[in-house]
Amino acid sequence: FLDRDGTIIEHVEYLHEPEKLVLIPGALEGVKRLKEAGYRIVVITNQPGIGLGYFTKEDFFRVNRELLRAAAKAGVPIDRVYFCPHSEADRCACRKPGTAMIERAEKELNVDVARSVVVGDMTLDVQLGKNAGCRTVQVLTGVGGSDKRFLGAPDCTAPDLGKAVEYILADNAPAS
């Protein structure tokens, strides 16, 4: 399970313009290595800008289309993108660190959550992984854990997604 903003792409506050999407160097190459090793690639992302009215779901989909185009061009099929469109005030189950997006992937994609890994740049992502029973890797790109909203330590810290993949491939058997 990969966070999007700050992990695969540069963190841009309330990103809704495809032309502002910038891939983090080496991110898609790392994702490709995971895919080649048999992992499912599931992107999970909070998008509170939708719930706050800053942009629409269509804007979000346009940005994702750009990401999926770049991934396809790099030979990296992404199995699914799940997103939470709610603001924090909505207190929904899908907003990270709530586990509804992971539970949905478990049901729809037959993901073995116990053998899965959550990779993200925020302590929120680490807490999501812990809540779901997954291993966790915090990358130092994007926010790099500086949000300090949750205190749980990740299983591993990596400078970027490429190095996170090295940890995953060294320590884990592919999730089915």
Residues with catalytic function:
3, 5
Query: What's the rounded Cα separation, in Å, for the pair 29 and 32?
Result: 5
Report yes or no: 168 and 34 within 8 Å, Cβ to Cβ. Answer: yes
- Cα dist. 121→5, 27, 118, 173 in Å? 8, 13, 10, 23
Report yes or no: 17 and 61 within 8 Å, Cβ to Cβ. Answer: no
Residue 137: which of 152, 153, 162, 118 has the closest Cα? 118
